Structure 1
Amino acid sequence: MTAQSDDNNIVHVIDDEIDIRESLLLLLGNNGFKVSTYVSAEDFLANIAQVTSGCILSDIRMDEIDGMMLQKILLSKNIVLPMIFITGHGDVPMCAKAMKNGAIDFLLKPFSKDTLLQTVRHALVIGEAKQRQTREHTQIEQRYETLTAREKGVFLLLVESEGHHSSKSVAQSLSLSVRTVEKHRLSIFKKMQTKNIAQLVSLSKHLSL
């Protein structure tokens, strides 16, 4: 692996042909992108622990592990970096299948400089949005785990009813006093960083309840 930077907007170029790797490294680098290059899918997977953001620009036909197989491996590891495939005419049906599995686009050889740059920019925007969603999801899960067992019980009743359960009905369901439920409710709002039931319900959609 060779790398210019480990930045958020990094393009991970995977191709077993050195001329193509160097050409893409030069083109992307000269247009302001950070680039890491890999000689094979195996090389990329061996360095996957260092890959946290950006997008993947990969040849679809490679020895051992091809682009399609790499995509399946990444999906199995819940790694959802946007993927762009480089392909020849005969690979179009294969790339269509890859797009059904979540690939962003495929570049048909020979592709223009502008097409490549536009596609990479689009993929990076999508990648950044996914990274932001992942961070938000993780933060919400971490907040939820700060709730006590009793608070989680109150939380579930509140979000399931979308606020239609009164403190009295929640208290009856959990065999608690209304005062205790009100205390738990205030604590839940504080820990989950919400101001009302509507916000709490919205956050709950990010949780596996």
Structure 2
Amino acid sequence: MASNVVHLVSADVEFRNSLSKLMEANGMGLTVHPLVRDWLDAPEPVDGCCVILDVELGDLDCPERLKRFAALCASPHVLVTARRGDVPMAVLAMKHGAAEVLQKSLRMDELLERVNLLSLHRNASDSKTAH
């Protein structure tokens, strides 16, 4: 079963700090990955209820990273955030199957709701594969 740890991939310090406080206040853990390129180059974390990708197009500057991004977007436990007005990033995420693309600046209560839904979905998926 997935833990209640959220993996946040974001270079945005303010966003990371806000999300850290939100997760702590709601009894969830947060693992921060501040270097998007490094995280996209590394294997996907096994543990955790969901991944929040706060990525810009410039982070996808090589085919391997774009391929990894596409694979992550197709995963049902990944939420992508796009900067206000970054339509190309939102479209790219949706083209690759992202179930959730939220525009920043988003309300933290909305983000928490989405994280909880992704966590429930992840736990349900884990339960099915365990049987």
TM-score normalised by length of structure 1: 0.50
Per the alignment, residue 122 of structure 1 pairs with 117
* 1:36 corresponds to 2:34: no
* Residue number in structure 2 paired with 1:108: 103
User: Matches of 2:92 and 2:44 in 1, distance apart?
Assistant: 27
Q: State the Cα deviation string for residues 129-176 of structure 1 (Å, max 9, x = none).
A: 22233333xxxxxxxxxxxxxxxxxxxxxxxxxxxxxxxxxxxxxxxx
The 1:118/1:133 distance shift into structure 2, 3 A limit, reads same
Specify whether residues 134 and 80 from structure 1 end up closer, same or farther in structure 2 by C-alpha distance, changes over 3 A only: farther
What pairs up with 1:88-103 in 2 under 5 angstroms?
Answer: 88-103=83-98
AA of the residue aligned to 2:69? Q
Equivalent residues in 2 for 1:38-77 (5 A)? 38-45=33-40, 48=43, 50-61=45-56, 63-65=58-60, 69=66, 70-74=68-72
> Cα distance, 1:99 vs. partner?
3.0
Higher strand share: 2
Counterpart of 2:13 in structure 1 is: 18
Contact persistence 1:11–1:55 (CA under 8 A): yes
Query: Are the aligned partners of 1:60 and 1:86 in contact in 2 as well (CA < 8 Å)?
Result: yes
1:50 positional shift: 4.4
- Classify the secondary structure of the residue corresponding to 2:106: coil
For residues 80 and 134 of structure 1, the distance between their equivalents in structure 2, rounded to whole angstroms, comes to 15
Flag the structure with larger Rg.
1
Whose RCO is larger (CA < 8 A, sep 6+)?
A: 2
- The whole-number CA distance in structure 1 between the counterparts of 2:41 and 2:95 is 26
Q: Secondary structure at the match of 1:94?
A: helix
Q: Is the 8 A contact 1:53 1:131 kept in 2?
A: no
Q: Alignment RMSD, CA only?
A: 2.9
Identity of aligned residues (%): 27
Q: How many residues matched?
A: 126
Bigger helix fraction: 1
Q: Distance in 2 between matches of 1:30 and 1:122?
A: 17
Q: TM-score, normalised by structure 2?
A: 0.74
SS of the residue corresponding to residue 102 of structure 2 reads strand
Match of 2:77 in 1: 82
